[in-house]
Structure 1
Amino acid sequence: MAKFRVKKAWRLSLIILILMGGTIAGLIWYQEKTGGLNFVRYEEFGIDMPVDYEIHGIDVSKFQKNINWEAVEQMQVENIHISFAFIKATEGITRQDANFKQNWSRAKRAGVVRGAYHFFYATRDPLKQAINFQNIVQLEPGDLPPVLDIEVSNNQPAAVIRSTARVWLEEMEKAYGVKPIIYTNVHFYETYLGDEFDDYPLWVAHYYQKKKPASARNWLFWQHNDGGRVNGINTTVDFNVFRGDSLAFSKLLIPAKKH
C-alpha cells in the first residue's frame, strides 16, 4: 500500500511537471511569436496594438470617406486613445484631396492634433508641388509639421529623387518655419534617400513588425498597421505611434507665434 502511494505521488508529480513544462513552453512560444508582450490584440481596433508607446494616431485620406471626428477622439480602450491624425492634402502639382478641407477643420474642432501630407512624384516639378500644398494647407500653432510622402520612384534614379525631394522640403521649411517630416517605407528610404536626409524627422512605414520597425536610422513616427478600425470611420485605417512622451510630442508641434 505504501509502495502504491509512492508510485501514485510520483505519477502525480510527473503530470504536474509535464503540465508546467507545457505551460512554460507555451509562454515561450507565444513570446517568440509576438515579440514579447509588447503587442496586445484589441478587438475594438481589430489589430494588435504596440502597447509600449504612449501616443497613438491614424492617417486618412478621401478613401476613409466622411469621418465622425468626435467619435474618433472619444474612443478610449484601456490606455489607448487616438491623439493625432495625418491627413492627405495634395498629390503632384494639381491634385487636392477631396476630403481634406472637411477633415482638416473637423479634426481640429474635435481636439485631434492634425498634420497634412503631400504625395510626391519625382517626375513632377517640385516647386509646383510645393505651391500646390501651400495653396490649400494653412498650418496653425499646435499642428504637426508638413509631411513629404515619398514612396514611388517612377523609374527615376536615386540622384533625381533626392534632388527633387530636397527642393520640396526646403520650400516647406521656408514657408512654415519648421523642418518637414519625411514619410516613406524602410526599403525606399535605404534605396533612394539614404543618410543625406538623416537630419529630417522620419515617419516610417513597416507593417506587422513587433516592437519597432526595422529601420537603421532614428525615427519619430511608425506606421505599424494598415488594417485597423476606429469609431467614427467606416473603413479600415492606417495606425501609427509616436516614439516619445507627451512632452517630446508637444515640442514637435508648430509653436505659437511670438508677439
Structure 2
Amino acid sequence: MRGLLGCYPHLAVAGFRRYSTYRSAALAALTTNSAFGLMRIAVLLGVLGSQSEVAGYDSGRIASYVWLGQGLLGVILLWGGHELTERVRSGDVAIDLSRPWNLQLALLAEDYGRAGFAMLIRFVPPMTIGALLFDLHWPQRASTWALFGLSVVLAVTMSFAMRFLLSLSAFWLLDARGVQAMYGILGGIVSGLTVPLAFFPDWAQAALWWTPFPSLLQNTIDVFVERGDPFLLLAHQTLWTVMILAVGQFALRAAERKLVVQGG
C-alpha cells in the first residue's frame, strides 16, 4: 500500500516534466491568450462605459477577471486533455487498467504536474502583461492568496474530473468526440470564461449555481477579486469536486466490467 501511494507523487513529477518539453507550444498558446485577452478587455471595458461598475465589477475587477481567465485557461485545461479517449478507442486502456493503481488517481496526479508547469508558463506571464498594461484589482486581504491557491487546486481537480467522465463515455459511445466538442463549446460560456456569470439574468445565475460549471473558473476568479463570500465559493467547489470524482469512480468500475478492445 505504501509503495502504491508513493507512485502518485512520481506521476505528478512525470506530468510536469512531460509538459515542460512542449515549450514552443506553450509559447504559442501564451501569445494567443495574450492577444485574446486584449480583445476581451476592450469589449468588457466598453460594456462598463461611463458606469463605475456593472454587477459588482468595476474596471479593476474586469481587468483582473480577463487576465485571470486567460491565465487560468491553460492551467485548468478547459479544452483538450482527452488522451484517455484515444486509449479507450485503441484498446490500450486495457494495459492501464491492469496496472496496480487507481487509474483515476494516477491520471489526476499527472494532471497536477501538468497544471504546475502551466502555472509557470501559462498563468504568470499573462498576469504580468495584464499588470503592466492595466490597473488590476489585487487581493486586499492576505488570507485571499491562500484561498485563491486552494480554489485553483479545486478548479484543476474539477476540470480533470469532468474530462475523465467525458473520456470514459467512449466505453459506451465508442466515439466521444461529439460530447467532448459540446462540452468545449458550452464550458466556456457556463464556466464564466466568456463573460462573468454575474452578467447573466438572475434566473440563469441561480440555475448555474446548482451545476458544477462555476467551479471550473468563475468561483476561482471571484475568490481572487474578493467578490462574494470566499468560503461559500470554496464550499461549492469542494462539494461538486468530490461528487464528480465519486461519479468518476463508479463510471470507471462500470467501464472495467464493459471493457471491449475494438478490433480484436
Check whether TM > 0.5.
no
TM-score (norm 1): 0.28
* Higher relative strand content: 1
TM-score (norm 2): 0.28
- Larger C-alpha radius of gyration, 1 or 2? 1
Q: Which has the higher contact order (CA 8 A, sep 6+)?
A: 2
